[in-house]
Structure formats: C-alpha cells, structure tokens
Amino acid sequence: MIKKLLLGTLCIAQFSLVSANDLKPNPIKDNGTVYFQNVPKTVIIKTKKFKVRIDKQPNGNYLYQSWGANTKITAKPAMIISNGELIPDGSGGNYHFEFNNNGTIYQVWRNYLTASAKKAPYTLVVIDQNGKTIVDQDAQIVKN
C-alpha cells in the first residue's frame, strides 16, 4: 500500500513538473535582443496619408513598404526600405520598428501601454536628417 502511495505521489510530482515547464513563456530573440512580446510577421497600418506594410524577412530584419492612403496595397509601393530593425521599448510590451532611408528615420511605434485608452494602436513617425519630426500620425491596423 505504501509503495502504491509513493508511486502515485511520484507520478503526480512528475506531471506537475512537466506542466510547469510548459507554462514558461518562450522568449523571442531578434537582432540580439531577447524579449517576450509576440510581434506579428506582417503588420499593415493606415494613417490619414499613408498605408504602411512591415514584413519580417528571412534574415531577421524588417522590410518597410508604403503607399498613399487611398492606394491599393496591390499597387507598386511608393517607397521601399529594407534592413529595418525591431527595438523593444521597456518591459511593458511596447516596441517600434526603425528604418533608415538616406538619413531620414522612419519609425512605426506599437502602443500597447499608453496614458489614454483612446490612443491608436500604432504611430508613424518620420524624422529628417536634422532631427526634426516631419510626420507624426496615429495609425489603425489594416492587417495584423
């Protein structure tokens, strides 16, 4: 009887240990940074003036494509920037994609944690070579 009780206790402990290991989050490593946020492989957003598509490439970098807001995404993109990177922003889940196009920086920010519940889920920011912000527009998700 004691043997059966010990065997049963051992089996329960083993199953509990296996289940506990399954609950650990799987960190994602991207460009040398480890974070626990699930970032979609493709993001399509729309601002008042632009549609932007960001795709993760096989090499781990990101591709930025943009169109006018009223242009179909199946048309030829007005701009394509490769070799973008994903930059985590703190530990709360926010992050942004950053692309450099001849000194002009294009950033697409993911706004998980904000001071306002009405804040758009993404923001497109464009900074010129002099560090001046020339575009700062909230964006809605077209596809995520």
Question: pLDDT at position 12, please?
Answer: 62
In this structure, the number of other CB atoms found within 10 A of the CB of residue 59 comes to 8
Cβ atoms of 27 and 36 within 8 Å: the answer is yes
Instruction: Kindly give the parts of the chain with pLDDT less than 50.
Output: 15, 17-28, 35-36, 144
**Residue 126 CA to its chain's centroid (Å):** 18
pLDDT of residue 3: 67
Q: Report the phi/psi class of residue 110: left, alpha or beta, with left for phi > 0 and alpha for psi in -120 to 50.
A: beta
Q: What is the pLDDT of residue 62?
A: 97
**Residues sharing a CB contact under 8 Å with residue 40, sequence separation 6 or more, in sequence order:** 144
- DSSP-assigned states of every residue in 54-107: EEE-TTS-EEEEEEETTS-TTSPPSEEEEEEEEEE-SSSS-EEEEEEETTEEEE
Q: Does pTM top 0.75 for this prediction?
A: no
Largest CA distance in the chain: 80
pLDDT per residue as tens digits for the range 102-144? 999 999 998 776 656 667 889 999 999 999 999 999 999 886 4
